[in-house]
Structure 1
């Protein structure tokens, strides 16, 4: 699974970029050297934590960091680092939210203004036109990647090697498991966990470890997880649920609903996230 997501290749590219920046440090001005070391540190840190963070949402503030570092490198020594202005096309190619796109566009314009005194008029106009064309192509590519990734998330695991799936998969699995339970005479229920946003991914990993390999875990939104638990009887399901909740983070709110009480034809994601308040709700 790891090669499928090209994690090793991306890590190698990040390390190569760090080495390339390190070659610029000798004879660099003090300000430029400081920014170069910051950029190298960020690239190395990103390469180290890449296995898990690459599956996180696009809207996190980390997207501002490479843009700030790129502006800093150009501002520290425009005469040495002016060629980095072409890196903005690569920045715009990343799938990101509108606010991140707006930030990168503004930063690209600021960077262009920094290198303008080093160029004559026609050369600067050619630079702007070329950068604009590359930026439009990069944004088109980013939109394509967002659409492709959106369709992939509908059917693929969110983390390689773990039974963690998008919430839409739960809607499809409910009907399948209802049929299985009726045929085999077993009890099944949907367990919903509400956690803090920063606890979502560690809790998802823990939940995958505590459930059976044939039981999937689902990410419903940024603070909500769910799992389909199969047991021999309701009493066994309650016992499993208690043991599972004991290992969850503090202040985890849990709700559960028997699979036989769910009508799959009318089931929606919003209904799953808003189970009736009069059903059992535990806080650990």
Structure 2
């Protein structure tokens, strides 16, 4: 999985860039050296913590940190780091929230204002026009990536190596599993679990480990998980459910329902997330 998505190659590029920036500090002025060391450190930490996951948010603050570091490098020594201004168009190729894109646009303009005194008027205007053109093209590419990633996430596992799927997949699987359980006389039930927001992803991995490889786990929202569990009978399902919930965080709310009792007509993810109070099982030790 890592090779397929070129994570190792990306990590190697980040480490190489960190080394280059670190070597660059030997001939830099103190202020510029500080900015270079901060940038090198950020690249190195990013490379070490890098992993492939579909659950990365496009609005994380690290994107603004990247712009701050780039702007600080140019501001520390415009005459020395002026060529770094060409990195700004690449920044707009990243899917990002509107406020991050606005910040990057103002930072890129400020970078140009710092470099413009070093150029003649025609050169400065030509540089500005080139930056705007490349920025617009990069933003258009980012919009395409957002659309592509949105469609890909609907049919890919959320965490590589784990049988965790998005909520839309559950609605598609319910009908198929109902037909299969009826045809093969298998007891199937839908188990819904609500945990605290910060426990969602760790709970999802535990849930995937505790279920069989042919059973799917789904993320319904930021606090809710669901699992389609297959057993020989209801007694076995109850025993499995007890063991499964014991392996999850202590504070949780669960709800289970036989798959054959679920009315699929008009069913939505929002309806599944609303646990029926009269049937909810609380675990709060």
Any idea what SS the aligned residue of 1:70 has? helix
**Greater mean alpha carbon deviation, residues 176-185 or residues 45-54:** 45-54
- 1:55-102 CA deviation, whole Å, 9 max, x = no partner? 422222222221121112112222221211111111110112222212
Q: CA deviation at 1:53?
A: 5.5
- 1:113-167 CA deviation, whole Å, 9 max, x = no partner? 2222222221111111100000000001001111111111111112222111111
Distance in 2 of aligned mates of 1:223 and 1:115: 48
> Superposed, which structure 2 residues align to 1:54-133 within 5 Å?
55-133=55-133
Structure 2, unmatched stretches of 5+, are: none
Distance in 2 of aligned mates of 1:176 and 1:104: 47
Any idea what SS the aligned residue of 1:158 has? coil
**Greater mean alpha carbon deviation, residues 53-62 or residues 139-148:** 53-62
Is 2:189–2:259's contact at 8 Å kept on the other side of the alignment?
Answer: yes
Structure 1, unmatched stretches of 5+, are: none
Structure-1-length-normalised TM-score: 0.93
Alpha-carbon RMSD across the aligned residues, in angstroms, is: 1.7
User: Which residue number in structure 1 is paired with residue 158 of structure 2?
Assistant: 158
Aligned residues: 284
User: Which residue number in structure 2 is paired with residue 25 of structure 1?
Assistant: 25
User: Which residue number in structure 2 is paired with residue 180 of structure 1?
Assistant: 180
Q: Compared with structure 1, are the counterparts of its residues 240 and 62 closer, same or farther at alpha carbon in structure 2 (3 Å cutoff)? A: farther
Structure-2-length-normalised TM-score: 0.93
User: Which residue number in structure 2 is paired with residue 193 of structure 1?
Assistant: 193
Distance in 1 of aligned mates of 2:263 and 2:52: 35
Any idea what SS the aligned residue of 1:25 has? helix
Is 2:52–2:160's contact at 8 Å kept on the other side of the alignment?
Answer: no
Distance in 1 of aligned mates of 2:52 and 2:244: 23
Distance in 1 of aligned mates of 2:37 and 2:249: 37
User: Which residue number in structure 2 is paired with residue 136 of structure 1?
Assistant: 136
Moved over 6 A (4+): none
Distance in 2 of aligned mates of 1:271 and 1:228: 16
Distance in 1 of aligned mates of 2:81 and 2:199: 40
User: Which residue number in structure 2 is paired with residue 146 of structure 1?
Assistant: 146
